[in-house]
């Protein structure tokens, strides 16, 4: 169990990539804080991680709200006393063509996918500073590098996450806090 004794926050943990990563982290011994806007103690992911013998805290948050993110970090620190890792996976998609995209649709994607990622990095990194160690992994997308038709908001946000990751890695390296990103690509 490589991650025995480690505490990892997983945002967007209720399904998909976040769910898969949470189970993998639990199998490797990590205790988890599972975060999503709609997550509950009854969700299958919570049971799956607890069944692996891990401590699991469930936290409902909108990562696009700074106060929710700070509450998430504060409650994690109260419950576990530390944060070793963040898997920054929360994200949404609202496809629309550039010429017809509303301000609301643009803002929602940027707020969750880019600003929410920033809020999580900032809050978690501040909690990691005292121990001078930690690992943050952001989920971006190949769309952020390649662009896609009908998703200018999503591609802009994910491209921003890629650049944010590079800058955060350079700033936080002096504190032994690693910041990386993964860029899944669907093949259809």
Residue 126 inside a domain? The answer is: yes
154 catalytically annotated: yes
Q: What is the pLDDT of residue 41?
A: 92
- Do residues 182 and 137 make contact, with C-beta atoms less than 8 angstroms apart? yes
pLDDT mean over 95-104: 97
| Burial degree of 62 (CB within 10 A; 0-12, 13-18, 19+) | middle
Predicted TM-score (pTM) of the model is 0.96
Beta-carbon-side half-sphere exposure of residue 55 (alpha carbons within 13 Å)? 11
Local confidence band at 186 (pLDDT 50, 70, 90 cut-offs) = low
Q: What is the CATH number of the domain that holds 77?
A: 3.40.50.720
Least Cα distance to 181 among 120, 106, 95 occurs for 120
pLDDT mean over 134-161: 96
Given a cut of 60, is residue 188 above it in pLDDT?
no
Residue 2 inside a domain? The answer is: no
Given a cut of 90, is residue 104 above it in pLDDT?
yes
Residue 90 inside a domain? The answer is: yes
Residue 187 inside a domain? The answer is: no
pLDDT mean over 142-154: 93
What's the pLDDT tens digit per position in 39-69?
999 999 999 999 999 999 999 999 999 999 9
Local confidence band at 72 (pLDDT 50, 70, 90 cut-offs) = very high
Residue 177 inside a domain? The answer is: yes
Distance CA 93, CA 147 (A): 14
Number of domains in the chain: 1
- Domain assignment of residue 175, given as a range: 7-182
**Looking at 154, 156, 160, 179, which residue is catalytic?**
154
Residue 188 inside a domain? The answer is: no
Residue 86 inside a domain? The answer is: yes
Q: What is the pLDDT of residue 114?
A: 99
Q: In whole angstroms, how far apart are CA 31 and each of 5, 22, 45, 97, 186?
A: 7, 9, 13, 41, 29
Residue 144 inside a domain? The answer is: yes
Local confidence band at 184 (pLDDT 50, 70, 90 cut-offs) = confident
Q: What is the full DSSP assignment across 48-77?
A: HHHHTT--EEEEE--TTSHHHHHHHHHHHH
């Amino acid at each position: 169990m490589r991650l025995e004794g480690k505490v990892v926050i997983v945002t967007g943990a209720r399904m998909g990539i976040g769910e898969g990563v949470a189970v993998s982290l639990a199998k490797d011994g990590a205790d988890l804080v599972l975060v999503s806007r709609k997550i509950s103690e009854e969700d299958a992911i919570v049971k799956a991680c607890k069944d692996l013998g891990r401590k699991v805290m469930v936290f409902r948050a909108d990562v696009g709200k700074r106060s929710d993110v700070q509450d998430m970090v504060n409650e994690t620190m109260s419950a576990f006393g530390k944060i070793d890792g963040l898997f920054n996976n929360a994200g949404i998609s609202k496809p629309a063509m550039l010429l017809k995209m509303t301000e609301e649709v643009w803002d929602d994607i940027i707020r969750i996918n880019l600003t929410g990622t920033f809020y999580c990095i900032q809050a978690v990194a501040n909690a990691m500073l005292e121990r001078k160690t930690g690992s943050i992994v952001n989920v971006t997308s190949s769309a952020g590098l390649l662009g896609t038709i009908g998703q200018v908001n999503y591609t802009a946000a994910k491209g921003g996450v890629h650049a944010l990751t590079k800058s955060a890695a350079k700033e936080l390296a002096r504190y032994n806090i690693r910041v990386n990103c993964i860029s899944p690509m669907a093949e259809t």
